[in-house]
Amino acid sequence: MQDFFSRIATGFGILDAIDIGIIAFIIYKALGFIRESRAEQIVKGFIILVIATFASGLLHLYAFNWILNGVMTFGIIALVVVFQPELRRVLEYIGRGRIFTMRFTAIDNEKVKLTASTVASATDNFSNNKIGALIVMEKDVTLNDFAETGTILDADVTSELLGNIFYSGAPMHDGAVIIREGRVYAAGCVLPLSKNMSLPKELGTRHRAGIGITEVSDAYCIMVSEENGVISSAYNGNMKRFLDVKTIEKDILNMFLDESDDSGKTSLKGLLRRNGNV
Give Cα 208 distance to the centre of its chain. Answer: 13
What per-residue confidence (pLDDT) applies to 104? 41
pLDDT at 189 over 80: yes
Domain limits of the chain?
2-95, 109-274
What per-residue confidence (pLDDT) applies to 31? 73
Q: Stretch 208-219: mean pLDDT, rounded? A: 93
State the pLDDT confidence band at 152, using cuts at 50, 70 and 90. Answer: very high
List pLDDT tens digits, range 18-45. 888 898 888 887 777 666 555 666 777 7
Helices 245-256 & 109-128, crossing angle to 10 degrees?
150
Q: Stretch 124-149: mean pLDDT, rounded? A: 94
What per-residue confidence (pLDDT) applies to 77? 79
| Mean pLDDT taken over the chain | 82
List pLDDT tens digits, range 51-106. 998 899 899 898 988 988 888 877 777 777 766 766 766 676 666 554 444 444 45
pTM above 0.75, yes or no: no
**Top-level CATH class of 109-274?**
alpha beta
